[in-house]
A and B are shown apart, each in its own frame.
Chain A
Amino acid sequence: MVREFKLPDVGEGVSEGEIVQWLVEEGDTVEEDQPVAEVETDKAVVEVPAPVDGTVRQIRADEGEMVPVGNVIITFDVEGEPVEETTDLEAADAAEADGADAEPAGDEGTETAGEAAETPEGRVFAAPSARRLARELGVDIAEVDGSGPSGRISEHDVRAAADSGGSEPETATAEASESASAAEASAESAGAASGGSTAGGAPQQVESADREKTLAAPATRRLADEEGVDLNAVPATEKRDGEPFVTPEAVREYAQAQQEAQKADTEALGLREEPAEREERTPYRGIRKSIGDQMERSKYSAPHITHHDSVEVTNLVEIRERLKGRAEERGIQLTYMPLIMKAVTAALKDFPMVNSSLDEENEEIVEKNYYNIGVAAATDAGLMVPVVDDVDHKGLLQIASEMNELVQKARDRSIAREEMQGGTFTVTNVGGIGGEYATPIINYPEAGILALGAIEERPVVEDGEVVARHTLPLSLSVDHRLVDGADAARFTNRVKEYLKDPELLLLE
């Protein structure tokens, strides 16, 4: 198989590097960790090591070229694994080169068509004819790179994806035969992809047909479907109206013969048969994917640092205990969260940087004079963050009732998009489930997030004695582009002051 090697992140905050010199050539044999290139970043010149034992297949960047981190710069054929004919990218490159107006090398030549436009989940832009062809060829159209305007997928793109479907397990098995020449392997893979018979050079041959049209009863078609057999490949034993007619028995016979041949192939190659369902695959989409995308964006855009501390909250526990009953009289359930949100807001006022965000496009820091606090809520569908607006202008009960309502809406998925937007800082209650400290990921583009551990009695040293006190573990992650470690610590200290003596909030 081919291993693509991307320019790694070679130093803190480095987003691109210049290829100073290639230390290998295409076709060279390399060992793992052997330097293959010298790359200069704005901090240093570093050597980039080979990730595997193998041979250099293709060098994708020229000397002197600036390459963004994450772009493929070189590919390797991994030692001991069969050689593939052409990868998708190479095919795309070749197609590009064929064009009359080939793009000059180095001019964003790495951007593939599929990445041109980001399309929301579940939506594919392709003509109905292309979608139908994809179903016919067994191609997942969502995975096809479109070559049309804005990445629209054409029938041609679908066929190209079907032809390059070399990652199909059966095909890989067929290709594993070392004696098979590359040309044969590719011919086999084409045969397998079009639903024909199995490996040609296999020890056992299955007689199979290749018709355009086959008559069969619907039940027979269903049987063929279940057995994974192409009706047009089943030898026809009868004719009806002059057309080949396939019976259910013929389908069963053919399916069995095929399975035996496959098994024989596998045994001949000395390959272990995989036990069924060692892994289960489900599509990565929906809320799971949007959470993932958001986390990825945050973690990859904002360099996180996390500051841990804990605060003794005896007073907070008492105050909440006193207020709880009053709140209940008004039909509102008062948790610690509104008190903590108030304390956080008061501290944010003293540390505006923690309530800011970075406008990357305009290279400006946006300090916000409003305090919209997000509350992370675990729901059946995944993590959601409803936002309580203008916490500084609201009383505890109002915050409590708004928050309870929003969290409930998030749980039953009736929450509106707007109700999860516009936050300036987020609080997440990890302790509700258990545990003390966390390394929360910032709700990008906010500058900080505070994770709460469980409020529990823990040993505390007071006047030289170890005593049991209610404490609250705090974990604050901040975007280091905006907030330095010292400020993160100072901000946390301020939050602690308010939580230790909640009366101070009266002064706010």
Chain B
Amino acid sequence: MVVGDIATGTDVLVIGAGPGGYTAAIRAGQLDLDVTLVEKNAYGGTCLNHGCIPSKAMITAADVAHEAGNAEEMGIHADPAVDMAQMVEWKDSVVDQLTGGVEKLNKANGVNLIEGQAEFADENSVRVGHSGEGQGSESVEFEHAIIATGSRPIEIPGFSFDDEPVLDSRQALALDSVPERLVVIGAGYIGMELSTVFAKLGTDVTVIEMLDSVLPAYESDLTRPVKKRAEELGIDFHFGRTATGWEETDDGIRVSTEAMEEEVAAEADGGAAETFDADNVLVAVGRQPVTDTLNLEAAGIETNDNGFIETDDRARTEKDHIFAVGDVAGEPMLAHKGSKEGEVAAEVIAGEPAALDYQAVPAAVFTDPEIATVGLTEEEAEADGFDPVVGEFPFRASGRALTTGDSEGFVRVVADEESGFILGAQIAGPEASELVAELTLAVEMGATLEDVAATIHTHPTLAEAVMEACENALGQAIHTLNR
């Protein structure tokens, strides 16, 4: 149905207003290009509406509730009552403020906003379908396009997100009451962050993971404190199992699982097949790029075996005038990687000498304690041909960490021994996500261990641990024994 098909033209068409897309649109606007941004439902994309931001709001709220009720040691005796509906309302207000801001920023930078879903008609135009009866569609012709359609949670067989008890991360962040019992499938970062939130709010959480550890992508000494804290919160882990389906019971649902290996089956009470009763099941097994809505063939673009659009170091696809940024352009699926790609794509279109030449993409997991990493691990540095030296500093030796009542974990830096260049860092502990910023700057600038060690760090702060870890690598740490 075509009602009022209006053709317009634009220098730069951006598809998707998540962190990759809106950043590209704003930067293109700043560079005096004529920009059109198409978004099908919410400015800010997954990150602002259903991912990073709402989850962090819920983590903070759950932490407040949990800490208030567990601070007897500090002489605080409280029994906080949690009103989930109000908590979600507060979270939504944070989201609204941010997404409203994104919309305003786009307009202020001269970006034309179109609501609807874009699909390629040919190499130089898209049709934008508007949702709702009789809304019709319009054509937009473009000189350049930036695809920023992001990703969506992967569904697994037997668990449809359309069924009420089955939740994806987005639905889990919008519940109006705290479930009594929750099964979480997947112990990756989304599964672990949300398990921790619900455990702190009083839910009995059971985590089913196919592999044999929490956060399998990270080094085991980083994840050990996370698993330990999770178990203290009462989270029940079952490794080496896959979830096969669920059924309704009198008072909720029953999730059935199967052991991947015989040894797991032998150890488990229920043998190879084991079931877990719950009110809800959260499926967090990963995310997949969204390309199926785009009609990419019309633009002559193919996806690779993993479903991603391949790009070069200028964020360009195989078509020189079409760019792809963010989750749809490949791993790591992180908002800040997408934003950088968005900026570069816009600058390249404007003829600026921009390129994706970053040395490292930092990553943070907002579990308890947090984990953050950047650059190379010791093993990776060695594989890359460096002769790495490592320095560590445990938070139990940090005065500031002790005063927060949270001194689990450590800071580790990896550097090239001969030159002293900092190559990477791994942090588990309080505010790891903030602390990694300093080391990311160090990696990106080509700073040496001595540069960071010789920089005065405020006392008493957690950031001193970064300085001490660098000193430790030089054999000069003051507050820990040097190796």
Residues of chain A at the chain B interface (Cβ within 8 Å): 116-121, 123-128, 131-132, 135-136, 148-153, 215, 217-219, 221-222, 224-225, 231, 290, 417
Determine which residue in A125, A132, A153 has the highest number of CB atoms from chain B within 10 A of its CB, and name it.
A125
Contact B448 A221 (CB under 8 A): no
Contact B421 A125 (CB under 8 A): yes
Known: A119-B419, A218-B143, A219-B143. A417 touches B383 (CB 8 A): yes
* A126 to B421 alpha-carbon distance, docked (Å): 11
**B425 adjacent to chain A (CB < 8 Å):** no
Contact B350 A221 (CB under 8 A): yes
Within 8 A of A (CB), among B1-25: 11-12
* A231 to B416 alpha-carbon distance, docked (Å): 43
Q: Which residues of chain B come closer than 8 Å to A152, judged between CB atoms?
A: 421, 446
* A290 to B383 alpha-carbon distance, docked (Å): 13
Q: Which residues of chain B come closer than 8 Å to A124, judged between CB atoms?
A: 446
Known: A125-B446, A126-B446, A132-B353. A117 touches B419 (CB 8 A): yes
* A135 to B354 alpha-carbon distance, docked (Å): 8
Q: Which one of A120, A135, A219, A222 contacts B353 once the chains associate, using CB atoms below 8 Å?
A: A135
Q: Which one of B351, B385, B444, B451 contacts A221 once the chains associate, using CB atoms below 8 Å?
A: B351
Q: Which residues of chain A come closer than 8 Å to B11, judged between CB atoms?
A: 217-218
**B32 adjacent to chain A (CB < 8 Å):** yes
Within 8 A of A (CB), among B37-64: none
Interchain nearest-CB distance for A325 vs B (Å): 36
* A74 to B446 alpha-carbon distance, docked (Å): 35
Top 9 closest A-B pairs, CB basis?
A: A125-B446, A120-B385, A150-B419, A135-B353, A117-B419, A136-B353, A221-B351, A152-B446, A218-B143
Q: Which residues of chain B come closer than 8 Å to A219, judged between CB atoms?
A: 143
* A131 to B354 alpha-carbon distance, docked (Å): 9
Contact A120 B446 (CB under 8 A): no
Q: Which residues of chain B come closer than 8 Å to A224, judged between CB atoms?
A: 351
Interface of B is mostly: loop
Residues of chain B at the chain A interface (Cβ within 8 Å): 11-12, 32-33, 143-144, 320-321, 349-351, 353-355, 357-359, 382-386, 416, 418-421, 444-446, 448, 450-451
Known: A123-B384, A136-B353, A221-B351. A215 touches B32 (CB 8 A): yes
Interchain nearest-CB distance for B304 vs A (Å): 19
Q: Which residues of chain B come closer than 8 Å to A125, judged between CB atoms?
A: 419, 421, 446
Determine which residue in A150, A153, A224 has the highest number of CB atoms from chain B within 10 A of its CB, and name it.
A150
Known: A120-B384, A152-B446. A131 touches B357 (CB 8 A): yes
* A135 to B446 alpha-carbon distance, docked (Å): 18
Closest to A126 in B: B446
A231-B351, A290-B385 given; 8 more Cβ-contact pairs under 8 Å:
A117-B421, A121-B385, A127-B445, A152-B446, A153-B446, A217-B11, A218-B144, A417-B383
Q: Which residues of chain A come closer than 8 Å to B355, judged between CB atoms?
A: 131-132, 135
Interchain nearest-CB distance for B332 vs A (Å): 19
Q: Which residues of chain B come closer than 8 Å to A128, judged between CB atoms?
A: 357-358, 444-445
Contact A127 B444 (CB under 8 A): yes
Q: Which residues of chain A come closer than 8 Å to B383, judged between CB atoms?
A: 417
* A218 to B382 alpha-carbon distance, docked (Å): 44
Contact A218 B33 (CB under 8 A): yes
Contact A218 B446 (CB under 8 A): no
Closest to A154 in B: B446
Closest to B142 in A: A218
Q: Which residues of chain B come closer than 8 Å to A117, judged between CB atoms?
A: 416, 418-419, 421
Closest to B420 in A: A150
Contact A150 B12 (CB under 8 A): no
Interchain nearest-CB distance for B25 vs A (Å): 15
Closest to B386 in A: A120
* A225 to B11 alpha-carbon distance, docked (Å): 17
Q: Which residues of chain A come closer than 8 Å to B143, judged between CB atoms?
A: 217-219
* A148 to B418 alpha-carbon distance, docked (Å): 15
CB-defined A-B contacts under 8 Å, sample of 26: A119-B419, A120-B385, A121-B385, A123-B359, A125-B421, A125-B446, A127-B444, A127-B445, A128-B357, A132-B355, A135-B357, A148-B446, A149-B448, A150-B419, A150-B420, A150-B448, A152-B421, A215-B32, A217-B11, A218-B12, A218-B33, A218-B143, A218-B350, A221-B351, A222-B321, A231-B351
Interchain nearest-CB distance for B353 vs A (Å): 4
* A132 to B384 alpha-carbon distance, docked (Å): 24
Q: Which residues of chain A come closer than 8 Å to B385, judged between CB atoms?
A: 120-121, 290
Interchain nearest-CB distance for B196 vs A (Å): 35
Contact A151 B419 (CB under 8 A): yes
* A149 to B420 alpha-carbon distance, docked (Å): 9
Q: Which residues of chain A come closer than 8 Å to B359, judged between CB atoms?
A: 123
Closest to B355 in A: A135
Q: Which residues of chain B come closer than 8 Å to A126, judged between CB atoms?
A: 446
Closest to A120 in B: B385
Q: Which residues of chain A come closer than 8 Å to B420, judged between CB atoms?
A: 149-150
* A151 to B446 alpha-carbon distance, docked (Å): 10
Closest to A231 in B: B351
* A150 to B451 alpha-carbon distance, docked (Å): 12
Contact B446 A225 (CB under 8 A): no
Contact B349 A218 (CB under 8 A): yes
* A490 to B480 alpha-carbon distance, docked (Å): 58
Interchain nearest-CB distance for A158 vs B (Å): 12
Q: Which residues of chain B come closer than 8 Å to A116, judged between CB atoms?
A: 419
Q: Which residues of chain B come closer than 8 Å to A132, judged between CB atoms?
A: 353-355
Interchain nearest-CB distance for B95 vs A (Å): 31
Known: A218-B144, A219-B143. A127 touches B418 (CB 8 A): no
Determine which residue in B11, B353, B358, B384 has the highest number of CB atoms from chain A within 10 A of its CB, and name it.
B353
Q: Which residues of chain A come closer than 8 Å to B416, judged between CB atoms?
A: 117
* A224 to B351 alpha-carbon distance, docked (Å): 10
* A269 to B228 alpha-carbon distance, docked (Å): 78
Determine which residue in A126, A153, A215 has the highest number of CB atoms from chain B within 10 A of its CB, and name it.
A126
Contact B351 A225 (CB under 8 A): yes
Q: Which residues of chain B come closer than 8 Å to A417, judged between CB atoms?
A: 382-383
Known: A117-B418, A149-B451, A217-B11. A127 touches B350 (CB 8 A): no
* A120 to B359 alpha-carbon distance, docked (Å): 13
* A125 to B448 alpha-carbon distance, docked (Å): 10
Interchain nearest-CB distance for B227 vs A (Å): 28
Interchain nearest-CB distance for B348 vs A (Å): 10
Interchain nearest-CB distance for A263 vs B (Å): 27
* A121 to B385 alpha-carbon distance, docked (Å): 8
